[in-house]
Structure 1
Amino acid sequence: MTTTGADRDAGGVARWWWWGRRRSAVLDVALALVSALECAAEGVGFAEKGAMPVPVGVVFGLLVGSVLLVRRRWPIVVVLVSIAVAPAEMGFLMGIVGLYSLAASEVPRRITAVLAGMSTLAVFVVTFVQMRQDVARVDGGPPDIDPSGWYVPSIALFVTLGLNAPPVLFGLYVGARRRLMESLRERADSLEQELSLLADRAEQRAQWARQEERTRIAREMHDVVAHRVSLMVVHAAALQAVALKDPQKAVKNAALVGDMGRQALTELREMLGVLREGTAPVAPAVVPLAAVGRAAAAAAEAAADDDGPRLDALEGLCEQSRLAGATVELVVIGESRGYGPDVERTAYRVVQEALTNVHKHAAGAEVVVRLAHRDAEVAMQVENGPSDAAVADVGLPSGGNGLVGMRERVVRLGGAFVSGPTEAGGFKVSAVLPAGRHRAP
């Protein structure tokens, strides 16, 4: 289970008011304490110049310096306070830290530029006035340097830029870097969410593939085994009926039962062999179940394409039903030609399952199998009349999935499937398949 940025924010340390981390709160408290002490010390001189009590100046300095405590929440307030107390020559640390906090914050750049310009102007004026007074007063005598020249403005400008430019530039760099990291973190979170969605979809596809593979295997097992086993049961019932009356016919039926049993076992062994070959002998932790299922499905389909039944085997299929005592007529309309292996296999299985249903539910009924070759499609129909009441029911079990399996096979190839009772009391199964890819002669 992945952890996104929202989870990290929710599960992080408790927020101390507007501080995200405890060390940030400790740093701001320390800076505010240092700034308060500095402003308190500078408040003594301010009180003397302003002819006010010294304690008032000290308290005023403490209050002004403690404003630095809110630099992360309200950096504009810190910068404005530093500009306001600049004429009193106090709050230099607060001004430097405030400019840095302002430049690194999410305050619009226009406001940052205006406040930085105001702070620069205030510092420049205060520095210029102070230096002009210092230069003009040397032991009460004439000045060594002419204060009206370029010296004082140049030095004042140099000192102002030295105090204001580094914190602003460094704050801009830190703010840009922070925004870049947040952008990268958001992109990483979005990628994690996309990967989680992809993993869920892959799991759904794998589950669907496993279900589809189970259905396909069950359908193949039903088609391969059910028909021959049904014929075996029919022959066994006939064998039981004629065992005492006609020993020769009983021997013939017994031989047919043995042949069909061997054929069923051979087909079942071939299918299981294909599934076994489709799974490579690797560690289960290395290859997922879905990959094994897809490999088995691909191998089974490939083997079915090569060795699966064809339309030319319909006559033999009908002959097996005739040997079981059913009356089956095969009618072929049109010129026979080769189709794709999936089309021929599906057509064969439809006829096979329809004949199996006749043996199960309409024993003794007459059956007509029609196969029509058309330009772009091949059609097949298996129709039986009403069952012969004189024929004993052999008691073949029915799973109820025969018609469903036929419909799934036909629809999967883009064909049409119809089944239902006839007016004469029988049952009819019809299917139409697109010609698809022709098989090479």
Structure 2
Amino acid sequence: MTTTGAHQDSAGMAARGYWWWGRRRSVVLDVGLAVLSALECALEGVRFAQAAVLPVPVGVLFGLIAGAMLLVRRRWPFAVVLVAIAITPAEMGYLMGLVGLYTLAASEVPRRITGALAGMSFVGTLIVTVVRTSRNVVDTGIDSARWYVPLVAVLMSVGLTAPPVLLGLYVGARRRLMESLRERADSLEQELSLLADRAEQRAEWARTEERTRIAREMHDVVAHRVSLMVVHAAALQAVALKDPQKAVKNAALVGDLGRQALTELREMLGVLRAGEQVAARQADGVAGVPVAVPLASVGLAAAAAAAAAAEDGPGMGDIEVLVGESRDTGMVVELMVQGESRPYAREVEQTAYRVVQEALTNVLKHAAGAKVMVRLAHREAEVAMQVENGPSDGGAQDPGLPSGGNGLVGMRERVTALGGVFVSGETDAGGFRVSAVLPDRRGAAA
């Protein structure tokens, strides 16, 4: 266990009564090692007391206290190693030295401190081994060649110092690696969670955008046609008995407008079905294997289908027909075109058409009998349109058309989505003006 980890475990386990231990088995292991070390030091303390001419109980008590220091090896590993080095001349504490060096090497104690304490333990063991081996050689009469005592001392010192240090370094490195991998796994899990949240946000955004687009298209398709149908129906009702020929003409106009509205609605439904089919094919996966598809792809598929269907939608060339339809209802509409007409990107032409269409619909709803001026200006890198009406004619009959209040919002969304500018507001004369400028995407690309 590392020193940092020991302090963290101390804070976390204090409430459970484990002090600096993180788990119950750690407590059992350290208590067991401390008991073994205390017994070993107590037995060796008997010999130490006899050699030092001390009472045996004193040596036993000294050994028990010194050996029990192994109990704090996780909290203060350097203290355990220092005690082991201190009692090395008494030829006791071998188990405590081995376990202490291992714990020290596996902890987060700086390597220079670990190296210094390991070196002190090596030197202390070497000196004690040299003295003891020399005495044993003299006592037994073995030939004390120059190589024997140093060899035994070095082997004994290396054997008691190197293995625990190397094993501790390995375990510490492995532990740090596992901690790093665990932190990386947690970090990746958090990143995946964030990515999932962002994907869900994008999917929700795509669904919202798609719903907004569908609502805008439905409003543009239905509001204008149905408004014209209501006006013609009112005129038909007014002249049905007085002027049968005009009534027949108005009835024919209502029928034409109804068919046009149905055609555009079918195109809209075709766009939606195309988007659903694309999303369904993606959801079916490859070779019939179902796969999970982000919800955003459904909205993108529908948007792609809508873009494809827009190729068949109305454009700026149909504005003159649109003005004619409004004139047929009795509105006084003047169309003025400035500059040389040229083809634009399909989305630009459709947006320009929808802006003029919605502006004329608003005049029909809110300014019955007002004169209307529609201006189109083809400029070098943009196209501008303006629909301005005068004040409402007080003598004109109000068609009583409902208003959802989304017309201007839809126009602004369409124009700004293409990077254009949209302005609307009342005029000084008491009328209303709608202006929009759309960039020429084909010209910009060229």
Amino acid at match of 1:60: F
Aligned equivalent of 2:157: 160
Q: Which residue is equivalent to 1:400? A: 405
Cross-structure match for 2:303 = 297
Partner of 1:4: none
In the TM superposition, what is the alpha-carbon distance from 1:103 to its structure 2 partner? 0.7
Would the aligned equivalents of 2:200 and 2:295 in 1 still touch at CA under 8 Å? no
The 3-state SS of whatever aligns with 1:137 is helix
Quick check: 1:121 aligned with 2:123? Answer: yes
Q: Equivalent residue for 1:312?
A: 317
Aligned-pair identity (%): 73
Task: Tell me how many residue pairs correspond in the alignment.
Answer: 426
- Alpha-carbon RMSD across the aligned residues, in angstroms, is 2.1
Q: Any idea what SS the aligned residue of 2:340 has?
A: coil
| Secondary structure of the corresponding residue to residue 393 of structure 1 | coil
1:225 deviates by: 0.9
> How many angstroms apart in 2 are the aligned matches of 1:359 and 1:31?
96
| Cross-structure match for 2:255 | 258
Among 218, 232, 235, the alignment partner of 2:215 is 218
Name which of 349, 367, 376 aligns with 2:354. Answer: 349
1:14-50 deviation line (CA, Å, top 9, x unaligned): 6822122222221111111111111111111111112
Find out whether 1:244 has 2:241 as its counterpart. yes
**Structure 2: any 5+ residue segments left out of the alignment?**
1-8, 285-289
1:91 alignment counterpart? 93
Cα displacement string for residues 133-180 of structure 1 (whole angstroms, at most 9, x for unaligned residues)? 011012xxxx23136x22111111111111111111111111111111
Give 1:287 deviation, angstroms: 3.2
- Which residue matches 1:70? 72
Distance 2:229 2:184 in 1: 66
Question: How far apart are residue 182 of structure 1 and its match?
Answer: 1.3
1:131 to 127, 130, 133: 133
- Give the corresponding residue for 1:376: 381
- Is the CA contact (8 Å cut-off) linking 1:309 and 1:348 kept in structure 2? yes
Q: Structure 1 length as normaliser, TM-score? A: 0.92
Specify whether residues 11 and 251 from structure 1 end up closer, same or farther in structure 2 by C-alpha distance, changes over 3 A only.
Answer: farther
Q: Which amino acid aligns with 2:163?
A: P
**Which residue of structure 2 aligns with residue 181 of structure 1?**
178
TM-score, structure 2 normalization: 0.91
SS in structure 2 at match of 1:431? strand
> C-alpha deviations, 1:226-281, integer Å up to 9, x for none?
10000001011111111111111111111111111121111112101111111133
Deviation at 1:57, TM superposition (A): 1.4
Structure 1 residue 286 corresponds to structure 2 residue 283 = no
CA distance in 2, matches of 1:349, 1:51: 112
Partner residue in 2 for 1:6: none
* CA apart distance, 1:389: 1.6
- Distance between the aligned counterparts of 1:285 and 1:241, measured in 2? 61
In structure 2, the residue matched to 1:433 is 438
Local SS of the residue matching 1:429? strand
Whole-Å Cα distance in 1 between the matches of residues 183 and 17 of structure 2?
21
Q: Any conservation in 1 of the 2:381–2:444 contact (CA below 8 Å)?
A: no
| Unaligned ranges ≥5, structure 1 | 1-8
> 1:17, 1:189 → 2: CA distance?
27
Deviation at 1:425, TM superposition (A): 2.1
Q: Deviations over 1:367-406 (max 9, x none)?
A: 1111111111111111112222222111000011111111
Q: For residue 6 of structure 2, what is the aligned residue in structure 1?
A: none
Once the two structures are TM-superposed, the CA of residue 55 in structure 1 deviates from its matched residue by 1.8
Q: What secondary structure, in the 3-state scheme, does the structure 2 residue paired with 1:16 have? A: coil
Distance in 2 of aligned mates of 1:106 and 1:330: 84
Question: How many angstroms apart in 2 are the aligned matches of 1:286 and 1:164?
Answer: 59
Instruction: Report which of the two has the higher share of helix.
Output: 2
**Residue of structure 2 in register with 1:322 after alignment:** 327
Aligned match for 2:415, one of 400, 410, 415:
410
2:204 corresponds to which residue? Answer: 207
Q: CA deviation at 1:289?
A: 3.2
Q: Which of 147, 150, 166 is equivalent to 1:150?
A: 147
Q: Does 1:56 align with 2:32?
A: no
One-letter amino acid of the structure 1 residue matched with residue 144 of structure 2: D
Residues 44 and 58, structure 1, Cα contact 8 Å, conserved in 2: yes
Deviation per CA, 1:168-209, whole angstroms, max 9, x where unpaired? Answer: 111111111111111222222222222222222222222222
How far has the Cα of 1:439 moved from its partner? 12
Name which of structure 1's ranges 11-20 and 107-116 shifts more when overlaid on structure 2.
11-20
Note the alpha carbon deviations across 1:403-422, whole angstroms, 9 max, x for none: 11111111111111121222
Give the 3-state SS of the residue equivalent to 2:362 in structure 1: helix
Q: In structure 1, what is the equivalent of residue 194 of structure 2?
A: 197
